[in-house]
Amino acid sequence: MSTPQPSVPAARSARRQAHPGPVRRILRVVLALIASLIAFLAGSIVLGAWIPAIPKAGVIGPVLGGQYPFHIALLALVGLGLGVLAWRSGLVRWGRTLTALTAVSAAFALAIGAVQYATAGKEHTRISFGEVITQLAYPGAVPDDSPTYAERDGEKLKADLYLPKAAQNRSGKVPAIVLAHAGGFHTFDKSDLRGTARWLADHGVAAIAIDYRLARPDRPTWDKAPQDLVTALRWTEDHAGHYGIDPNRISLGGMSAGGTLALDAAWRLKNGTIKAGDGRAPKPPHSVVGFYPGTDVTDMWQRDVAGSRQAAELFTGGTPEQHPDRYRAVSPTTHVTAGLQPTLLVVGDRDRSATPTTIDDLADALCAKGVETTVKKLPFAEHAFDDAYGSLTSQTSRQILLDFLTR
């Protein structure tokens, strides 16, 4: 009996499947490359977030993995789908590895989100997952007023006021906080605070985001910027009645370098060693807040993380060896004494600039003097964690701040 032969069309089809055309071959290669790239990126980010000691991955991991864990998980899941396709189609020999790596990356990214969500729950934070997914940066927010609070060195220093409805309607006196922005003492401005400031106003706290004199190579501001914060406090106190603010509940706070300035100015006011630019001293602030602040400017210079040495030298006009008195004057650790106002310190547990250790050391010194001190460490959070406005950590930090200011 003769063996049946395949028809001519069937034979051609078999040859096409065995030897795909150039377009299909290119698509297969592209698919394999994309799946491999996603696996590498997601794996590196998640690994760095969990183990920040890993070089390079430990720098970017806490930033991306800590601020955007659900986005990283979604990326990993896309990679998982492509990896499965690459594996089942036999496109790459490491298809099974791709699938496993992306699956593990997605799981550990979601675990970061779960830990942060649990922390949010402990702080009684009502999380908006819409914001988590869509609000990746500062939101647009318009201040209710933007007056000039002082003019120094020919520079108009402005404040953006974000007011609760009760303050706008003059229907009650509200607590307030004067906020100083981040930027290593030499960059950025008050607009970086617009999201947090508007959120506070929407929840009953007036927020006054201020500009202060920034350091330049020809103008160190170690003696100017703290004074600008004191002047802004004085201005707020003088205009409290006009804006519906309770003059006895004006706090001072800031982020990063702004937090350093806030702690320094608040405690020097309490100790009577600083005044406003016109020589008048306002009442010391009701409380003081530092979000990931530098606690010792000499330590910032010595460790030189993320440009902190350059920032310290611009701010003080030189090195600690050249200007030891200036470095001491602007370091919050110098001014820890008994009788200081209640203090809130917030830091990410992955922060390499304002490390949790330096924050703990400052808190221990405050507590030893009997100062009411609250420390909040946020998991998988790096420096400037609130840049990702909608993130779980950022939403949690705003609730912590609100609770502290309204208690």
The CATH number assigned to the domain holding 397 equals 3.40.50.1820
Choosing from 122, 156, 174, the residue where a domain stops is 122
Residue 375 pairs in a beta bridge with 345
Is 234 found in the same domain as 374? yes
Whether residues 94 and 164 share a domain: the answer is no
Check whether residue 165 and residue 220 sit in a common domain: yes
In this structure, how many other beta carbons lie within 10 angstroms of the beta carbon of residue 337?
A: 14
190 and 259, same structural domain? Answer: yes
Answer yes or no: is 130 within a domain.
Answer: no
pLDDT tens-digit profile of 303-338? 999 999 999 999 999 999 999 999 999 999 999 999
Q: Radius of gyration of the chain from Cα atoms?
A: 27
Whose CA is closest to 214, among 183, 186, 181? Answer: 186
Q: What's the total number of domains in the chain? A: 2
- Is there a domain that residue 93 lies in? yes
Confidence of residue 93 (pLDDT cuts 50, 70, 90): low
56 and 27 within one domain: yes
pLDDT digits (tens, 9 = 90+) for 253-295: 999 999 999 999 999 999 999 988 778 889 999 999 999 999 9
Rounded Cα gap, residues 213 and 222, in angstroms: 10
Q: Is 67 exposed, middle or buried (0-12, 13-18, 19+ CB in 10 A)?
A: buried
Confidence of residue 21 (pLDDT cuts 50, 70, 90): low
Shared domain for 236 and 92, answered yes or no, is no
Q: Which of 146, 170, 65 is nearest to 107 (CA)?
A: 65
- Residues 41-48 have a mean pLDDT of 95
The residue segments making up the domain with residue 296 are 141-406
Is 199 part of any domain? yes
Q: Which of 45, 116, 68 is nearest to 378 (CA)?
A: 116
pLDDT per residue over 177-226, tens digit each?
999 999 999 999 999 999 999 999 999 999 999 999 999 999 999 999 99
The label of the residue with tokens 């203090």 reads 343
The answer as to whether 2 is a domain residue is no
Is 36 part of a structural domain of the chain?
yes
Q: Are residues 113 and 164 in the same domain?
A: no
216: which strand partners?
219
Q: For residue 81, what pLDDT band results from cuts at 50, 70 and 90?
A: confident
C-alpha 129/C-alpha 267 separation (Å) is 38
| Same domain? 212 vs 335 | yes
CB–CB of 195/138 below 8 Å?
yes
Token pair listed for 215:
């350091």
Q: Is the pLDDT of residue 134 over 80?
A: yes
**If pLDDT is split at 50, 70 and 90, which confidence band does 7 have?**
low
User: Which of 93, 122, 151 delimits the end of a domain?
Assistant: 122
Size of the chain, expressed as the number of residues it contains:
407
Q: Between these two residues, 39 and 18, which has the higher pLDDT value? A: 39
Question: Which of the listed residues 122, 151, 183 is the one where a domain comes to its end?
Answer: 122
Degrees to nearest 5, angle at CA 213 with 280 and 295: 85
Q: Tell whether 221 is covered by a domain.
A: yes
173 is a domain residue: yes
Residue 100 sits in the same domain as residue 152: no
Provide the edge-to-edge strand list for the sheet that holds 245-255: 148-152, 155-162, 206-210, 174-180, 245-255, 288-291, 343-348, 373-378
Per-residue 3-state assignment (H helix, E strand, C coil) for the chain: CCCCCCCHHHHHHHHHHHCCCHHHHHHHHHHHHHHHHHHHHHHHHHHHHHCCCCCCHHHHHHHHHHHCHHHHHHHHHHHHHHHHHHHHCCCCCCHHHHHHHHHHHHHHHHHHHHHHHHHHHHCCCCCCHHHHHHCCCCCCCCCCECCEEEEECCEEEEEEEECCHHHHCCCCCEEEEEEECCCCCCCCCHHHHHHHHHHHHHCCCEEEEECCCCCECCECCCCCHHHHHHHHHHHHHHCHHHHCEEEEEEEEEEECHHHHHHHHHHHHHHHCCCCCCCCCCCCCCCCEEEECCCCCHHHHHHHCCCCHHHHHHHHHCCCCCCCHHHHHHCCHHHHCCCCCCCEEEEEECCCCCCCHHHHHHHHHHHHHCCCCEEEEEECCCCCCHHHCCCCHHHHHHHHHHHHHHHC
> Residue 12 has what pLDDT?
46
User: Same structural domain for residues 252 and 351?
Assistant: yes
Same domain, 361 and 388: yes
Q: Which residues contact 93 (CB under 8 A, 6 or more apart)?
A: none
Q: Is residue 152 part of a domain?
A: yes
Q: Please indicate, yes or no, whether residues 33 and 150 belong to a single structural domain of this protein.
A: no
- For residue range 348-394, what is the model confidence (pLDDT) as tens digits? 999 999 999 999 999 999 999 999 999 999 999 999 999 999 999 99
